[in-house]
């Protein structure tokens, strides 16, 4: 089994202009630590942009093109108030 050396962290946004608000950090393991090599907005990924559909496609491509990397995603599990009909849990 190949040891994981590259780790990505993605701070996700579901906004229309998600590419401007989603951040991607790339790190590599070094000893027992992590060295951050790159931090950029998702709009700056290859074939990306600020639009959510274009941005999401670029993130999917990033994941697919790095089969030996580990990805962590930070995104909310909530729903917009307009979609929730219950008053409580």
41-68 pLDDT tens trace: 999 999 999 998 999 999 999 999 999 9
Distance (Å, rounded) from C-alpha 68 to C-alpha 15?
29
CB atoms within 10 A of CB 1: 3
Pick the residue with more confidence: 16 or 34? 34
Tell whether the model's pLDDT for residue 20 goes beyond 90: yes
pLDDT at 31: 85
Instruction: Read off the tokens for 72.
Output: 């962590």
Mean predicted lDDT score pLDDT of the chain: 88
The residue among 38, 56, 39 whose CA lies nearest residue 47 is 56
pLDDT at 13: 81
């Amino acid at each position: 089994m190949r040891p994981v050396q590259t780790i990505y962290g993605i701070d996700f946004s579901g906004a229309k202009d998600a590419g401007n608000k989603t951040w991607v950090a790339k790190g590599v393991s070094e000893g027992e630590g992590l060295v951050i090599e790159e931090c950029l907005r998702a709009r700056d990924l290859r074939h990306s942009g600020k639009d959510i559909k274009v941005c999401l496609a670029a993130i999917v491509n990033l994941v697919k093109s790095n089969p030996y990397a580990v990805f962590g995603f930070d995104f909310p599990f909530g729903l917009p108030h307009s979609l929730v009909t219950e008053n409580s849990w």
